[in-house]
Structure 1
Amino acid sequence: MSAASISRSVVKKVLAVETSEGAGAKVRRSIGSMSLRNLSPFLMLDHFAIAEGAGFPDHPHRGQATVTYMLEGSSRHEDSAGHKGLIRTGGVQWMCAGRGIIHAEMPVQGPGIPEPRGLQLWVDLPKQYKMVEPSYQELEPENIPSAWPSGQDGGVEVKVISGISHGVESPVRPLGGCWYFHIKFHKAGRIFQHIPTGWTSFLYSLKGKVTVNPDDVPESQPAFHTLVLSAAANETGVELAGEEGTEFVLIAGEPLDQTVFQYGPFVMTSRQEVQSTLMDYQLGRNGFEKAHTWKSEIGGL
């Protein structure tokens, strides 16, 4: 690690305990739980597994972006704006809910098909973007670029879902700063990942054991934990070491200087804005024109 590469360290560790969510789905929630309520700009992180007959039928959103990344299996989606499609293993959907949308997210189930598993991250939108028109950025797995910090023989792969890693940049352009990496250790090794100074950052461990800032804190961290990282002014990124087979996501975002006022799937900055959202939804206006007339084709599957 060079003199200019000063690593962040773990300042909080949260086990993501499995709970029920939606219509029979199981999730491990860390961000958004009582143990880790506020981590601006991040609102929620769910590691989900969807058994047959379960899913997330028709439901609304306003004021946030939802990022769905499939680790195994695939999931259908459909919304009130006429958008529909399939997220396959290794693919991502970055949905900006903006002023309002209703959608359904349902797994693909069947004999010989892997149980759908993945991550859903909710990212708060900057106040000025909360009432924009909904939009999508979707990448098929083959279109998510990978960085190999030490070359492919080095064995460490960084899938760049958004942001920049070792000169490789994702085509995803979020509203507000947010970097999202899936890091895989095909061999034991270590890397240094740059993170913009002052940004909130964390990693969520999926497999194996990862060590953060190994020169100073040689303690490895097991799977299913969210590790919140420090954000000192002189820290330029994070040094990471892993054994063969280790996988985790590393996510960083620009913190927002705004209040979070959340009521279920509606995320605004004041009680009055949430009350207006509830009224818009009840009356079917301002983005929710189809709230009481639209029904997805997949929600009842």
Structure 2
Amino acid sequence: MAGTLSRNIARSFFAKSQPEGAGATVRRCIGGSRTLDPFLMCDIFEVVPPAGFPDHPHRGFETVSYLLEGAIAHEDFVGNVGLIGPGDVQWMTAGRGVVHAEMPASKTPCRGIQLWINLAREFKMIEPSYQDLKDSEIPRAKPEPGIEVKIIAGESFGVKSTVFTRTPTMFMDFKLEKGKRVEQKIPKDYSGFIYVLSGNGYFGGNQFKGEEHHALFLENDNGDYLPIEAKDTDLRFMLFAGKPLKEPVVNYGPFVMNSEEEIFQTMSDYEKATNGFEKAKKWRSSISNGVTKLLQ
């Protein structure tokens, strides 16, 4: 790519499996003390009934659920219900407040990715909303045989996602056959990381080897594209990149705001069922103990 510079990979680590929620297991790329503005958390999760993620609140950010295997049921405190299957996406803007449950709706293990994206101060208290996409509705780019890019958010090879991102975000699922090479444009001012789902590949101008279950982080430099090569095996990886918000981040569990005062106010709102959480006090999901009622 004439006149441009490639991004390098700065570091990587093995995302080990750990328990989470009510009996689920996750491989955590981002979360806790390890964050990457604008991303707050990224889990590759696996959950088998009756385990799951029963009733819990959110405020101040977005959650993106991308299912790889199985089926997940969703229900929230204002009556939204849904079901996502393999390849489907639910993009939830929690805004000023959501209480919901996410539970497996298949007998086989459910495996997927959940990404938390921070919202700028001006959007933290907007009304909650959803963007749900079936696998067949998500655009793909196929620049040549043996290369496929599923574009959940952002743009690749001239193909754009239909998802509206309040925080500028790229979220893509790449599949490369052995021997294939690709170059993905990434804005210079975006931070980003990769998760290798299967196989191994060579990433960045420094040809950093990324292996299965490893998270790789992009250097913050002036590069505006990322070269990737599947030299040894077929390769599947997820690319996450976004424009940093450069705002203070204060989080307390499922609440992410800009100050401690706002966190205290959020905790009070949730406990008193006010200011966006009015329906939380009496609401209990119908799926936390199984999804039969929801699916009838």
TM-score, normalised with respect to structure 1: 0.93
**Cα offset, 1:64, TM superposition:** 0.7
Counterpart position of 2:293: none
Aligned partner of 1:283 in structure 2 is: 272
Residue number among 127, 139, 143 corresponding to 2:137 in the alignment = 143
Contact 1:162/1:179, CA 8 A, preserved across alignment = yes
- 1:126 partnered with 2:120: yes
Residue number in structure 2 paired with 1:194: 185
User: Who is 1:50 aligned against?
Assistant: 47
- Mapping 1:2-81, distance limit 5 Å: 2-34=1-33, 37-81=34-78
Partner of 1:94: 91
Separation in structure 2 between the aligned mates of residue 22 and residue 161 of structure 1, nearest angstrom: 26
| Distance in 2 separating the partners of 1:145 and 1:200 | 23
Paired amino acid for 2:217 = V
TM-score, normalising length: structure 2: 0.95
Residues 87-144 of structure 1: per-residue CA shift (max 9 Å, x gap): 110010110000001000001232xxx4110000000001100000000011100001
- Structure 2 residue 234 is the aligned partner of structure 1 residue 245: yes
Give 1:63 shift.
0.4
Letter paired with 1:44: M
The Cα of 1:177 is off from its aligned counterpart by 0.4
**SS of alignment partner, residue 280 of structure 1:** helix
- Say whether the 8 Å CA contact 1:49–1:117 is kept in structure 2: yes
Q: Considering only aligned residues, what root-mean-square deviation do their CA atoms show, in Å?
A: 1.2
How far has the Cα of 1:81 moved from its partner? 1.8
Question: 2:126, 2:15 → 1: CA distance?
Answer: 32
Q: 1:104 — aligned with what?
A: 101
Cα distance change on mapping 1:27 and 1:136 into 2, 3 Å: same
Change (3 A) 1:218 1:40: closer
**Further displaced range: 223-232 or 135-144:** 223-232
| Runs of at least 5 residues in structure 2 that lack an aligned partner in the other structure | 291-296
For 2:294, the equivalent position in structure 1 comes to none
Offset at 1:244?
4.3
Q: Please give the alpha-carbon distance, in whole angstroms, between the structure 2 residues aligned to 1:249 and 1:218.
A: 17
Letter in 1 for 2:85: R
Please list the CA deviations of residues 222-246 of structure 1 after superposition, one character each: whole Å capped at 9, or x if unmatched: 111111101312x111011124431
Equivalenced residue count is: 289
Which one-letter code corresponds to 1:66 in the other structure? T
Q: Distance in 2 between matches of 1:140 and 1:197?
A: 31
Q: Distance in 2 between matches of 1:191 and 1:140?
A: 26
Counterpart code for 2:60 = G
Q: Which moved more, 1:193-202 or 1:240-249?
A: 240-249
Given that 1:78 and 1:103 are in contact with CA atoms closer than 8 Å, whether structure 2 keeps it comes out as yes
Match of 2:151 in 1: 160
Aligned to 1:185: 176
Q: Does 1:274 align with 2:263?
A: yes
After superposition, the C-alpha distances for 1:153-182 in whole angstroms (9 at most, x for unaligned) are 2x1100000111001001001111001100
Alpha-carbon shift at residue 33 of structure 1 (Å)? 4.5
Distance 1:33 1:12, change over 3 A: farther
SS at match of 2:30: coil
| Structure 1 residues 47-100: Cα deviation after superposition (integer angstroms, max 9, x where no partner) | 000022100000000001000000111100010121111111001011000000
Secondary structure of the structure 2 residue equivalent to 1:30 = strand
